[in-house]
Amino acid sequence: MAGESVSGQSGWALTGLAPGALIAGYRVEARIGAGGMAMVLRARDEALGRTVALKILAPARAGDAEFRERFVRESRAVAAVDHPHIIPVYAAGEAGGVLYLAMRFVTGGDLRSLVQREGPLPGSRAVALLSPVAAALDAAHAAGLVHRDVKPANILVDRAPGRPEHPYLSDFGLAKGSASSAGLTGTGQFLGTPDYAAPEQISGSPARPQTDQYALACVAYSVLTGLLPFPRDESMAVLWAHMYEQPPSLTAARTGLPAAADAVLARALAKSPEDRYATCGAFIDALRAAFSGPARASSGGTRTSPGSSPVQVAGWQRRTQDREAQAPPRHTQTAPRPSTLDSPAPVLTGPPWDPATDASSVPPAASVPPATSVPPAAPLTWAAPVLRFWRQRGRRGRSRWPIVTAALALLVVLVAGGGYGFWRYNQSQYYVGTENGYVAIFRGTSHSLAGISMSSLVQRTTLPVSQLTTGDQALVAQTISQGSVTSAQQVIDQLENHAEYCKQQWQVLAAWQAKNVKYQAELANAAKTNVMVAPQDIPGAEPALPGSDCAPSAAFGIRASALPTAQSSPAG
């Protein structure tokens, strides 16, 4: 929202919207802010008993019939975009000649005040805050809406103890048809704010989704550097820079940022919309990749496939055993074949043998089949039924083995195919968990098939679990499925941002304590030597102790003994 003007203040004075006034069922409690176009009030819904942000349109705009019609039409369109990061609109209409818009009341302020309060944001935190805004813009673009006024003041950041920051995109369509906040009038009118306006927006060309992407890239530059993309003394000079000057460099404005981020920002700030990214989400994804560097991945498990499934190997072994069982028995010694088994009888040749007359001779050779002797017949009569049994079993086995093999093959195909399909389905699931004491993202699920895990490690972050609060640790321990790696990464980013915020709070407190200890020693010395303590050594007011939504100080390498003893640490 632009700053207040004298004329704006006097115009608002005529509305009589003092605390206690009732507008369309909303009881005014206090004024949050006001500008040339609208006033924002904190009000209470009398019917539902909830606090809302009530935006009242300027009296000059309320008298414009065309603007009134457009305001109501676009307010309904924005309310129809169902996205968790677009500020919810509860009601819009007219009451007593005043156009109003009732929205969710956000307590954390906007992105502009956040940067003013904390300075330039770390890359991971900036991406975590802007990624949901990009998704909200893409959802609005899919519904046929172009915001046209994306800027830090229109990105609200809801902050509450015990939960991550939640950004909201607000003020859809309220800047359309209005002069810029820099005071452009007449032919210089355009839709948007000069510091974040795209070249096509300035030249009067139709706005498109890439117009919002250009503004989002300007916002990214501002939150990462704490500077405007084109800081100039005159608004016309700002517009000229957007039209003709090269995009600013992140690395030149702030050391320590990756050079890859410059290329990403330069593309999103291209003068021609066709040269930018296809969507706002694609721009933020590229920016995240520039800050995170090459993705780390490990297998973390073995994939199953139809060609290497343990079930299939077991089936192969079983088929081999069946074939061996069905084959005729193999004997290590050739069995004699007596006449009782229908074998040909031996044929004797030569004269009859008489042992009495020719004791030194041997019986005449018998003409028998090769490798077959002629033992006595009586001892082998038991072999007939045994051999007959094995012959019949072999014939029955040979008739059954094609059916058994086909059934086993079908079973292997079904099991292997089902396992492969189950694995493919699980690979589309992502969840947040822990690995060796660090928060990590996993792909798949913890289910297994034949002892093979379906999940694999995608990324182990640098965030130790010890730096999370008890509630954050419980959220991670639940390994809630996120459905996509992007949403899982958003949970990681939010946890990292909150841990970084807590670390800064503990460090500030420890630094104050160290300075206070030195100051107390100097006071004691001054009492003895009458030497005054230097003003720069005075520690100042004691900073507030981090709340219960922060992890223990020891998790960040800060000893509890180094913290103020006047207050008790919530966790360490």
User: What structural domains and CATH numbers belong to the chain?
Assistant: 6-104 (3.30.200.20), 111-292 (1.10.510.10), 433-562 (no CATH)
CA angle 7, 10, 15 (to 5 degrees): 130
Residue 436 pLDDT grade (very low, low, confident, very high; cuts 50, 70, 90): confident
Does the pLDDT of residue 263 top 90, yes or no? yes
Beta strand spans in 446-566 (E): 448-449, 452-453, 456-464
Q: Which has more pLDDT, 134 or 165?
A: 134
Nearest to 124 by CA among 492, 432, 482: 492
Q: How far apart are CA 245 and CA 132, in angstroms?
A: 29
| 283-300 average pLDDT score | 70
What's the token pair of residue 429? Answer: 């699931």
- Number of helices and strands (H, E) in the chain? 15, 15
Report the percent of the chain where pLDDT is more than 70: 66
**pTM for the whole structure:** 0.49
Annotate 258-270 with b (16+ C-beta within 10 A) or e (fewer). Answer: bebbbebbbbbbb
> What mean pLDDT do residues 377-392 have?
52
Please identify which residue in the block is written with the tokens 């058994």.
404
Other Cβ atoms less than 10 A from the Cβ of 541: the count is 6
pLDDT in the model for residue 481: 63
Average pLDDT over residues 536-559: 83
Residue 540 or residue 2, greater confidence: 540
Structure-model confidence comparison of residues 66 and 517, the more confident one? 517
Q: How far apart are CA 122 and CA 125, in angstroms?
A: 5
| Exposure class string for 358-372: b at 16+ Cβ within 10 A, else e | eeeeeeeeeeeeeee
Exposed, middle or buried, 311 (CB in 10 Å: 0-12/13-18/19+)? middle
Per-residue model confidence (pLDDT) at position 36: 58
What does pLDDT average to over the chain? 74
Q: pLDDT category, 416, cuts 50, 70, 90?
A: confident
Enter the tokens of residue 310: 């343990």
Contact 496, 541 (CB under 8 A): no
Q: Which residues are catalytic?
A: 149
The percent of residues in the chain predicted with pLDDT above 90, rounded, is: 28
